[in-house]
Amino acid sequence: MVVPSPTPMRTKKTRALGVVARLEEEGLDFFAKPAAEKERAGPATPFGYGCKNIGCNGDVGELEFLLLQTNPASISERSRTISSSDPAKFRVNHYPAVKEVKDWDPSPKRIGFGEHSDPQILTILRSNDVAGLQICLRDGLWVPVPPDPTGFFLIVGDALQVLTNGRLASVRHRAVANSTKARMSTMYFGAPPLNAWISPLPEMVSPQNPSQYKPFTWGEFKKAAYSLRLGDTRLDLFKIHATDHKIGS
């Protein structure tokens, strides 16, 4: 006779969801603490707690965050190589509810994190069940992304756009605050070592589709990115224009 177990078996998926749920619970508990207590975990230089006014162009908006280093001992050899010089980052963002602003209000007061693209190769994002993430289409229209706490969003970064010679485009996105509930999102940013050279892969370049970007190191790109405002297009600094191809031919 087989007797059912009083506790259901946990699959890898349910265990993973349990970890995510615990992370969200711990994150919300941390951000609910008094400011003085949270500040004991900061400043984020580079890791720890931070609170910034950052928004449309880097000068408005409300955001508090935790920036953590991933544990290289728990990931694959290839991932350890990628993160050896400039460790991959794990970030937890918290957007407090803005009760004095309605959800339909298009004003900058609703901006939690302004329009930008991620400079890294790839971002893996997960949010709670509160809406707020928006992506910008090519025609400039902002489209809300329905929240799905059971799934992950993959966001193409600037570096991946260069590696694919523009075949994959980095996604310009922003986060807006909710009028009744706080939004929390967690992100993993994958990036190469600081001294790694980034340029279009040979497979992505042809006479019909010449290289669109000048080679640069990840360190050079980071330095350029942080010298600009949040909403600026960083890749324009490394773009090869049609006249450059004519001169080189």
For residues 28 and 161, the answer to whether their CB atoms sit within 8 Å is: no
By DSSP bridging, strand 111-116 and strand 173-176 are antiparallel
Catalytic residue from among 126, 183, 229, 234? 183
Alpha helices in 75-195 (DSSP H): 77-82, 158-163
**Position of tokens 């605050």?**
177
**Any idea what DSSP says for residue 84?**
S
Q: How far is the C-alpha of 191 from the C-alpha of 59, rounded, in Å?
A: 26
Q: How far is the C-alpha of 237 from the C-alpha of 55, rounded, in Å?
A: 22
Q: Which residues pair with 90 in a beta bridge?
A: 68, 188
Q: Which helix (H) or strand (E) holds 35?
A: helix 35-38
**Any idea what DSSP says for residue 93?**
E
Verify whether residue 15 is a known catalytic residue.
Answer: no
Q: Catalytic amino acids?
A: 183
